[in-house]
Structure 1
Amino acid sequence: MLDNAPGGTPIAGPAVGAFLAVRRRLVTAGAGGRVGREVWAAAAELAEIAGWALFDAARFRAAQRFNREALRLARLAGDASMELLVLQNTGLVAGWSGRGRDELAIAEAALARRRLTPRVASMFRARQAQGLAVAGAEWEVAKAFRRAHDLLGESEPAHTPAWAWWVTHAEIDRQHGRVLHDAGRWAEAIPVLRGALGDGPENEVGYRGVVTVRLLDCYLRVGAWAEAEQTAGELLVAAPEMTSAVIRRLLRDAAAHGGRRPGVPGDLRDALRALRATASPPA
């Protein structure tokens, strides 16, 4: 995925520009029939990419505007697969914007549909779990994450969307780790987040950098200084190549908070200071 590629170029601007150019042509030329549906589907995919890129740039309101446009176009095209992906992205942005109840509503509406493939259903179960966490339903959260993992063990039909490849056990662990981290259950989050960073293609989760940053924060919160120092060293190497504004913001906050904790060894405090400077936007 783009966010896993070191030194990747931010794509929000080009993605938005490409979609707007296509939309202008659609408005001018119009489109109907089968060809029209194919054009609408292509435009929906461009809008989806723009929405994702805007999320990655931490422009959440703009991301949701493009998500709404992508959803409208996908429905015009009759593209149910793209509609599901856009609904997932819309729930994602809602959750990161602090609107967990909206995230939950989106996930449960999707799960109410018939004929979701196991991998797609797993994706929405994980999204449901994160919304339930905001509602304080801890037992239901654990149940939803278990169900998300179980669904990945079911056989996949041939019509599973190609875009769902990234929905893996490691990705579910990443999302579960986020819930535990944000709930202040740092010791519990550590093994879950470590699981999302294991070796092998299964663990190449989409937002891998987020996992490492959250692990650093967990280590700092529980006073695991040796582990924190090792993770901070890894991030010092990776941080200059990070283009995701979402990840850089999390890193900046974790480094700032960790640097203020009592008892932090001097070398680790220096590393956190360097991470905070690297992750901060240019003056």
Structure 2
Amino acid sequence: MASTRAVPNLAFRRLRGRRSPGEFAAAVRRSAREIGEQVACDARYIGRVEAGEIRCPNYAYERVFLHMFPGLTLADLGFSARESVRGRASRATAGACAAPAPLPGPLPARTPAPTPARTPARGDGSDISEESDVRRRAFMTNSTASMAVASLGIGSGIGGAPAAAAPVPRQVGEAEVSALEEAVRRIRLLDDRHGADGLYRRAAQPLRTAYALLDAGTATRSATADRLHASAGELAISVGWLAHDSGRFDDARSHYAEALATARVAGDAGLEAHAFCNTSFLARDAGRHREAVRAAQASRHAARDLASPRLLSLLALREAGGWAGLGDRTGCEQSLGQAHTLFERGPSDDDPEWMSFFGESELQALEAQCRAALGDWSAAARHAYRATVLQDPHFTRNLALYRAELATDLARAGFLDEAAAAGHQVLDLMDEVQSSRIQGILAGMVRVLLPKRRTAEVGGFLTRHASTAATARRA
């Protein structure tokens, strides 16, 4: 059977217009809510549609797209007819291609948790692949490929045992590289929803398999080989981030260094910039602020020719965080000014796929962290509040993080009742999000509030926090 080369969907790309993939994905999710659908659309999904990897959307996406563009058909949107993608034998069961897992809607302003009917199950993050049945069948009939990539799947939930190792083929091709790229996307999606703690152990085996594939290599120096190096490096960064967010700083440092070495071997400036970016973030969190500045500057140097103002904006924010940690207000303000100027240039088609999280909400959150490091608690609270308002609820982990930082900033600024209310909103999300980093931020905020525990609002939050922490320890 001849392989099917993906044909870019130019019609869909034209419909996106000047919006970035992330902005367009947000519009898709808004349209879905208008008609009672819930889809986990993100910039990566939009990129796959535009690249032609998704030849026909599932039924949930079909309804959303036709709602967004009334009067147009799937063919007008650049998609293939469903029967041509799925094959005659599968027409009767075409609806079995599941939509991505439902996401929680925006939380109410007050403290009640979302209703169970809207809370995604632990296992529903695994169903994010929208590949056609034709492509999946072609992939699975290649027995060596399927054995090699078996351990790249990270399972259906966020807990459980790591995947078992699998044999690696003598020669790596398209199927293995595609599976590796999908593993990176899957980890990022699950982290966006649930945080790192339950994912880190499961991701270790896929990373070992990725580097075994890298060691096996491809027949020639080719685009496939370049993708293999890039994906292995991106997976190392993703696993490093899981270690970072779950408080395993030494492990994170090792994974980021591994990604950096892979970038240098492959001559991949984008991967090098990403590795240095995360290294800077880790150094800041570990209290190595001068290293944070140097790594951010190295990342900006690597990214200088990548034509992505938004990437350069994020890197300027990383540098600002280092300067703030050093107490260098002038250096911090200069870097923040550069970050805002670059951000205002808007998104670009050259923005890296991994930056789908970076929008105005993240910019505000990172500036809030700088203000907090400089001791400007009221200013930090203002920026943290903007981050919580602007944050897309799809990124559940980031929403919990921003609210935790807001609660801390409010507490240190002396707004105790407001801090307690924000703390309740964080606890509302902690059944879904497992992040040692967020738990640590809350613990610091609790220490600030303890002297005021006789206040009704503060006392109520402290009691609930203690109960939640005790339940987590027993689990």
Residue number in structure 2 paired with 1:273: 463
C-alpha displacement at 1:191, in angstroms? 0.8
Please show how residues 145-224 of structure 1 align to structure 2 within 5 Å.
Answer: 145-199=336-390, 201=392, 207-224=398-415
C-alpha separation between the residues in 2 aligned to 1:277 and 1:55?
A: 26
Residue number in structure 1 paired with 2:269: 80
Pairing partner for 2:314 from 100, 114, 123: 123
Tell me the secondary structure at the aligned position of residue 431 of structure 2.
helix
Pairing partner for 2:208 from 20, 25, 29: 20
C-alpha displacement at 1:125, in angstroms? 0.5
What is the aligned length?
A: 281
| Contact 1:4 1:207 (8 Å CA) reproduced | yes
Pairing partner for 1:232 from 423, 429, 447: 423
Pairing partner for 1:64 from 250, 253, 273: 253
C-alpha separation between the residues in 2 aligned to 1:40 and 1:253?
A: 40
Amino acid in structure 1 at the alignment position of 2:427: L
| Contact 1:145 1:172 (8 Å CA) reproduced | no
| Contact 1:166 1:205 (8 Å CA) reproduced | no
Structure 1 residues 50 and 90, CA, compared in 2 at 3 Å: closer, same or farther?
Answer: same
| Contact 2:327 2:374 (8 Å CA) reproduced | no
| Contact 2:360 2:390 (8 Å CA) reproduced | no
Structure 1 length-normalised TM: 0.88
Amino acid in structure 1 at the alignment position of 2:282: V
C-alpha separation between the residues in 2 aligned to 1:106 and 1:231?
A: 33
C-alpha displacement at 1:232, in angstroms? 2.6
Tell me the secondary structure at the aligned position of residue 5 of structure 1.
helix
C-alpha displacement at 1:44, in angstroms? 1.3
Structure 2 length-normalised TM: 0.54
Please list the CA deviations of residues 177-234 of structure 1 after superposition, one character each: whole Å capped at 9, or x if unmatched: 1122233321221111111111464996973322211221222223323312321322
Tell me the secondary structure at the aligned position of residue 299 of structure 2.
helix
Amino acid in structure 1 at the alignment position of 2:245: D
C-alpha displacement at 1:52, in angstroms? 1.1
Structure 1 residues 39 and 33, CA, compared in 2 at 3 Å: closer, same or farther?
Answer: same
C-alpha separation between the residues in 2 aligned to 1:191 and 1:203?
A: 22
C-alpha separation between the residues in 2 aligned to 1:84 and 1:276?
A: 41
Structure 1 residues 23 and 237, CA, compared in 2 at 3 Å: closer, same or farther?
Answer: same
Task: Indicate the percent of aligned positions where both proteins have the same amino acid.
Answer: 25
| Contact 1:217 1:258 (8 Å CA) reproduced | no
C-alpha separation between the residues in 2 aligned to 1:73 and 1:265?
A: 54
| Contact 1:170 1:202 (8 Å CA) reproduced | no
Please list the CA deviations of residues 251-283 of structure 1 after superposition, one character each: whole Å capped at 9, or x if unmatched: 122123312x24750342232232144246626
Amino acid in structure 2 at the alignment position of 1:268: V
C-alpha displacement at 1:56, in angstroms? 1.5
Residue number in structure 2 paired with 1:254: 445
Structure 1 residues 279 and 95, CA, compared in 2 at 3 Å: closer, same or farther?
Answer: farther
Tell me the secondary structure at the aligned position of residue 282 of structure 1.
helix
Deviates more, 1:265-274 or 1:42-51: 265-274
Residue number in structure 2 paired with 1:54: 243
| Contact 1:256 1:273 (8 Å CA) reproduced | no
Pairing partner for 1:92 from 277, 281, 289: 281
C-alpha separation between the residues in 1 aligned to 2:337 and 2:226?
A: 38
Deviates more, 1:84-93 or 1:199-208: 199-208
| Contact 1:196 1:205 (8 Å CA) reproduced | no
Please list the CA deviations of residues 147-171 of structure 1 after superposition, one character each: whole Å capped at 9, or x if unmatched: 2111111154432222223222221
| Contact 2:423 2:461 (8 Å CA) reproduced | yes
Q: Which has the higher contact order (CA 8 A, sep 6+)?
A: 1
Q: Does 1:44 align with 2:229?
A: no
Q: Does 1:5 align with 2:193?
A: yes
Tell me the secondary structure at the aligned position of residue 158 of structure 1.
coil
| Contact 2:263 2:269 (8 Å CA) reproduced | yes
C-alpha displacement at 1:86, in angstroms? 1.5
Find the structure with the greater CA-based Rg: 2
C-alpha separation between the residues in 1 aligned to 2:396 and 2:468?
A: 24
Q: Give the root-mean-square deviation of aligned CA atoms.
A: 2.7
Structure 1 residues 243 and 200, CA, compared in 2 at 3 Å: closer, same or farther?
Answer: closer
| Contact 1:256 1:272 (8 Å CA) reproduced | no
Structure 1 residues 65 and 8, CA, compared in 2 at 3 Å: closer, same or farther?
Answer: closer
Give 5+ residue unaligned stretches, structure 1: none
| Contact 1:174 1:211 (8 Å CA) reproduced | yes
Please list the CA deviations of residues 92-118 of structure 1 after superposition, one character each: whole Å capped at 9, or x if unmatched: 111111111111001112323532421
Deviates more, 1:246-255 or 1:148-157: 148-157
Structure 1 residues 239 and 70, CA, compared in 2 at 3 Å: closer, same or farther?
Answer: same
| Contact 2:192 2:394 (8 Å CA) reproduced | no
| Contact 1:130 1:179 (8 Å CA) reproduced | yes
More helix by share: 1
Amino acid in structure 1 at the alignment position of 2:414: G
Tell me the secondary structure at the aligned position of residue 253 of structure 2.
helix
C-alpha displacement at 1:87, in angstroms? 1.4
